[in-house]
């Protein structure tokens, strides 16, 4: 496993396991398999409705709590200072934990203009030691600029849709300048279209690796944190098996050239669902 050091000095595995769109009863088995495979970073959220299932796997694992890195998120309908503190307590109870390693705002929902108050609640949780690190998801440069100007604790990362067809170059440049890591959700592209790309398949064949492993390696070598999701045991193992090879600079550049700035998910400025 490769680890990165966040801007508050905490270490985080660069490869984690996501459980978006995983049913609660499936989450227990999937997370158990991931932990058995070697993942120690698990990413969930209130809106995924599987925190209980994740918590059950965490309770049953032999991996010590201090070796785990658990992330969850506050949903749009729970934003605001007091609402966020309440939502955090509820997430913690479902997970069966005393603290989480990372707590994130799920979307900025700019139409409601409550992400600053929400983030100030995250700062309180951080200062109280109930959260070891805080950050955001799906924030554009404009949202991050306001956050940095109005809040005290800079986010450690920004979790966004990111894959070879949506490289997020401008956002990555801004985040790097402010010591904020980019974490990729849907790192393999929703629907897997990028895995069928001729360039990805050619590189995969030359490396004796799968297209998914090549894309994950591209993320890792670009200093991006990745959280691939799967409920299939063989794919959970495959996605973890990315530390025994490297892409050349030429191969990285080839994959960089695939960028289309094409989203599958919502644009953050338009995602105002509560």
Assigned CATH class of 3-190+222-232: alpha beta
User: 6-40: per-residue pLDDT in tens?
Assistant: 999 999 999 999 999 889 989 999 999 999 999 99
Using CA atoms, how far apart are residues 184 and 179, in angstroms rounded to an integer?
Answer: 16
Which helix (H) or strand (E) is 252 found in, with range? helix 249-256
What was the pLDDT predicted at 274?
84
Q: Identify the sign of the CA torsion 89, 93, 96, 98.
A: positive
What was the pLDDT predicted at 21?
82
What was the pLDDT predicted at 273?
83
Q: Where are the domains of the chain?
A: 3-190+222-232
Question: What is the arrangement of strands in the sheet containing 157-161, beginning at the earlier edge strand?
Answer: 17-18, 41-43, 69-74, 102-105, 134-137, 157-161, 181-185, 225-226
Q: Among residues of the chain, what percentage have pLDDT more than 90?
A: 92
**What's 52-106 look like in SS3?**
HHHHHHHHHCCCCHHHCEEEEEECHHHCCHHHHHHHHHHHHHHHCCCCECEEEEC
Catalytic residues: 48
pLDDT in tens, the chain (274 residues): 899 999 999 999 999 999 998 899 899 999 999 999 999 999 999 999 999 999 999 999 999 999 999 999 999 999 999 999 999 999 999 999 999 999 999 999 999 999 999 999 999 999 999 999 999 999 999 999 999 999 999 999 999 999 999 999 999 999 999 999 999 999 999 877 999 999 999 999 999 999 999 999 999 999 999 999 888 999 999 999 999 999 999 999 999 999 999 998 999 999 988 8
Place of tokens 């993320």: 219
């Amino acid at each position: 496993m490769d680890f990165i050091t966040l801007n508050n000095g905490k270490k985080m595995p660069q490869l984690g396991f996501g459980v978006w769109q995983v049913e609660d009863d499936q989450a227990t088995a999937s997370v158990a398999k991931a932990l058995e495979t070697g993942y120690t970073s698990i990413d969930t959220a209130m809106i995924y409705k599987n925190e209980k299932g994740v918590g059950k796997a965490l309770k049953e694992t032999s991996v010590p709590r201090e070796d785990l890195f658990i992330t969850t998120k506050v949903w749009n309908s729970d934003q605001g200072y007091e609402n966020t503190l309440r939502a955090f307590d509820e997430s913690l109870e479902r997970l069966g934990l005393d603290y989480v390693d990372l707590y994130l705002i799920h979307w900025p929902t700019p139409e409601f203009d409550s992400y600053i108050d929400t983030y100030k609640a995250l700062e309180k949780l951080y200062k109280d030691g109930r959260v070891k690190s805080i950050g955001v998801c799906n924030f554009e440069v404009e949202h991050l600029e306001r956050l940095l100007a109005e809040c005290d604790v800079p986010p450690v990362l920004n979790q966004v849709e990111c894959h070879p067809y949506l490289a997020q170059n401008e956002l990555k440049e801004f985040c790097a300048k402010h010591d904020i890591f980019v974490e990729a959700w849907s790192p393999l592209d929703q629907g897997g279209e990028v895995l069928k790309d001729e360039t990805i398949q050619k590189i995969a064949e030359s490396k004796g690796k799968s297209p998914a492993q090549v894309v994950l390696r591209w993320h890792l070598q670009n200093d991006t944190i990745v959280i691939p999701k799967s409920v299939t045991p063989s794919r959970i193992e495959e996605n973890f098996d990315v530390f025994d090879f490297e892409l050349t600079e030429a191969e990285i550049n080839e994959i960089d050239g695939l960028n289309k700035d094409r989203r599958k998910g919502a644009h953050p400025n338009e995602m105002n669902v509560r």
